[in-house]
């Protein structure tokens, strides 16, 4: 082989390696994005004052397969009436009975302490979960609500979500920089 052939082969090997490395990196990114974690941007006022439009969070998707979803956890869900995923807070868990009375949420007859709500915020019943009418969740249902109850489109209006409709829990806010940190 002469020098020209060796250079050509070396160049072809470099290009092939570059393509393989790029494809491998893309595959790893896609697997990570679809199965481990992804980003979401908050839209709307339903989670004020804790989340505002433009906040960006990382949603972790793995632990929902191995651990129970907990009350108070901030999750990203597919709702039956919205095309975009929503950020909401888990209020009631499978098998629990939830009721709204006098502006407060009761779980199995006990008033829920909601320190994440702004002072004075009252919870009203809506089309699905009506004031003073208890609802018992089935074994695969979760009831979610926004923190800004007067404006939130949530389970009170459109019903519960199934476990499969919970994309994951929002665990880290990375934007805006002034609010960077883990989400409680």
Residues with catalytic function? 46, 88
Q: Are 51 and 40 in contact (CB under 8 A)?
A: no
The C-alpha R_g of the chain, in whole angstroms, comes to 23
For 172-184, letters b (16+ CB in 10 Å) and e give ebeeeeeeeeebe
Question: Which is nearest to 170 in space by CA: 121, 116, 119?
Answer: 116
Residue 49: strand, helix, or coil: coil
What distance in Å separates the CA atoms of residue 18 and residue 146, rounded to the nearest whole number? 47
Looking at 56-165, which runs of residues are DSSP E strands?
Answer: 56-60, 74-77, 86-92, 97-101, 104-107, 110-111, 135-136, 141-145, 161-162
What distance in Å separates the CA atoms of residue 172 and residue 19, rounded to the nearest whole number? 33
Q: Are 42 and 176 in contact (CB under 8 A)?
A: no
């Amino acid at each position: 082989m002469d020098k020209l052939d060796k250079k050509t082969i070396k160049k072809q090997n470099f290009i092939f390696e570059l393509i393989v490395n790029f494809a491998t990196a893309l595959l790893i990114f896609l697997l990570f994005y679809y199965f481990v974690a992804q980003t979401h941007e908050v839209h709307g006022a339903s989670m004020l004052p804790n989340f505002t439009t433009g906040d960006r969070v990382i949603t972790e998707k793995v632990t929902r397969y191995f651990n129970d979803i907990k009350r108070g956890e901030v999750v990203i869900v597919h709702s039956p009436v919205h095309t975009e995923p929503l950020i909401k807070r888990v209020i009631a868990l499978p098998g629990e009975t939830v009721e709204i009375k006098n502006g407060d949420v009761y779980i199995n007859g006990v008033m829920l302490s909601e320190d994440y709500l702004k002072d004075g915020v009252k919870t009203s019943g809506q089309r699905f979960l009506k004031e003073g009418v208890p609802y018992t969740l089935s074994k695969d249902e979760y009831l979610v609500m926004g923190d800004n109850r007067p404006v939130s489109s949530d389970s009170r209006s459109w019903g519960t979500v199934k476990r499969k409709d919970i994309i994951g829990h929002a665990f880290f806010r990375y934007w805006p920089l002034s609010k960077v940190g883990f989400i409680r």
